Chains A and B, each alone.
Chain A
Amino acid sequence: MNETILSVQHLKKYYQTGSALGKKEIVKAVDDVSFELHQGETLAIVGESGCGKSTTVKSIIRITEPTSGAVILQGGDFLKMKGKELHEAHQHIKMIFQDPYSSLNPRMTVRDIIAEPADIEHIWKTKEERNQLVLDTMAKVGLDASWIDRYPHEFSGGQRQRIGIARAVILHPDIIICDEPVSALDVSIQAKIINLLKDLQQELNISYIFISHDLGVVKHIADRILVMYLGHVVEEGTAEEIFHSPKHPYTQLLLASIPQIGIKAQESSMFVAGDLPSPADPPSGCVFHTRCPYACEQCTHTIPSLQSVDGGHKTACLLRK
């Protein structure tokens, strides 16, 4: 097993909503999430709206500050780092965003957008160095050098996503968090970007945390998978384990719901089941019990913890062990 380069421990992000005078609600967007990322692997986090996957990664990289928990990176707790140590650590973990139309500043040229991480860390000493850095990175992601002074609106969705990838890759980070990087792209462009991400991983030895709601893409790219539901991790395992022997009823529901070419969906009792509960008002006990065909009395008041069923394959379910 490769070494662990990132360790997330008991991460929590709670939001308080409600007006100053009205009723205050606590939304538990991320509720006690722990996992590890190993060198060179792609760890996918899957789940539907409200599961907390986006909030989890945004808390890890400190776009929002988590309520509690630790993120062990480069030997220290990233969440507690300050000043020089923090800047040093920022070079090792970067992020690629979902929306190619809002992830690039419309008033900045391609050159400035890609160079920004290097600017923030004061990596370069001369303008020539900066330019060369940008040009090298553009070549790596398949962007033509002549486009360096153009503006984002002149590019297509797929090309913009490449610019975003260039920005993430310029400092050769160890870890890149990909937050639904291909969801907003057409199918034929998705394939190009996924292939690019895989190539970069090989070339630069990057580890990915890959968020997606599209299980087809996840199966293609992921080594290990975390399944999240309403702020909790409900199952963890290798891609093989998750797709061929899912243990958690939610994972099973998710897999059964995917429309596949050439395979007509079976009518299932799961299809009649209810809506996704709101994270502001989660069910008691096991958060999935309201939609679970196997739920029993115990499930309504006991929160199951993530337990190993078979080596690294873990699930959080009282009944399926």
Chain B
Amino acid sequence: MKNKSSSFYHESFRIFRKNKTAMISLAILIFLIAVALLAPWICRYDPDAQVLKDRLLFPSAAHWFGTDEFGRDILTRCIYGCRISLSVGIVSQLIATVIGYSMGVCAGYFGGRTDDVISFLIQLFSSIPFLLFAMALMCALGSGLVNLYVSLGLLTWASTARLIRGTVLQIKNQEYIQACRADGGSSLRIIMKHLLPNCIPMLIIAITLGIPNAILSEASLSYLGLGVPAPTASWGSMIAGSQTFIRTNTYYSLFPGLCIIITVMAFNMLGDGLRDALDPKMHSNGGSL
């Protein structure tokens, strides 16, 4: 018996710490979140106010990233765009996860017709051409941040549900689940006290890896004019706006583009690192054969 007790998460954190790529990604993301939260205080300029005399200025000491065709500071708009992207990514994935977990657990645990119906829904939502449907939904609901959260959440729950259903199918035949039933435990108890804690690692990974997709989707939708409405800054709409100036003022598309790439990569690498750390097989087990 070792001296120090180690819970699953202590052990996971220990493994995560060793992964340099993951730690760097985490640092980048913490930086981005801090920047997004502190935006009103750290930005010198108003992201939406037009200053027409300063149109299309190249990067300088006054404007680190230059200005756009309305004279707005691109750095400021990138920072505000970061708020949009992060909030869309995180909130939509939280919505998707709650829906996905509930559906997945019901399908996996109750089986039978419940499983048939939910599996059909999972198939349906997985087969929809995503962007097309997102466009249709946003057209129907109208553009706006909350509508974006809901649409993206509604369209991406299926992969989480499938993952959870698979996990629950495996776990539900474990003897500790049977033990709870034998003791008279209700299905609700089993779902919340036994299945959920064992699914959390998977949910964490699913959210982390779902965020980059949500961010890219938001960027695409905003590029098409269906995301956040003008003049709100969004990396996608900035790239759309920069199209006309791509040869003359390349910096205009470069900076929002880089922001997207860095953020998406950071989440992906964090997700990979978390996947390794949270994998129970990677945890140490003593030296016996």
Contact = CB atoms under 8 A, between A and B. Distances in A.
Indicate, yes or no, whether A interacts with B.
Answer: yes
Interface of A: 58, 61-63, 86-87, 90, 94-95, 97-99, 102-108, 113, 116-117, 120-121, 147, 149-151, 153-155, 164, 167
9 contacts: A90-B184, A97-B178, A106-B198, A107-B197, A113-B176, A116-B180, A120-B180, A150-B1, A151-B7
B62 interface: no
Given A103-B175, A107-B198, A151 B182 contact: no
Interface string B155-196: 000000000000000000011101111111100010000100
B60 interface: no
Greatest chain B CB density within 10 A among A63, A105, A147 is at: A105
Nearest to B7: A151
Interface of B: 1-2, 5-8, 174-176, 178-185, 189, 194, 197-198, 280, 283, 285
B8 A62 contact: no
Given A105-B194, A154-B5, A94 B175 contact: no
Nearest to B200: A107
Contacts of A167: 179
Contacts of A95: 179, 182
Nearest to B283: A153
Given A99-B175, A103-B175, A121-B184, 12 more contacts: A63-B182, A94-B182, A103-B174, A104-B176, A105-B176, A106-B8, A116-B183, A117-B183, A120-B189, A149-B5, A153-B285, A167-B179
B65 to A, nearest CB: 46
B6 A97 contact: no
Contacts of B197: 105, 107-108
A151 B5 contact: yes
Contacts, number: 67
Nearest to B186: A120
Contacts of B1: 147, 150, 154-155
Contacts of B180: 116, 120
A150 B194 CA distance: 17
A61 B198 contact: no
Contacts of A105: 176, 194, 197-198
A158 B286 CA distance: 16
A103 B185 contact: no
Contacts of B182: 61-63, 94-95
Nearest to B195: A105
A121 B185 CA distance: 9
Contacts of A99: 175
A63 B144 CA distance: 50
A108 B8 CA distance: 10
A221 B180 CA distance: 27
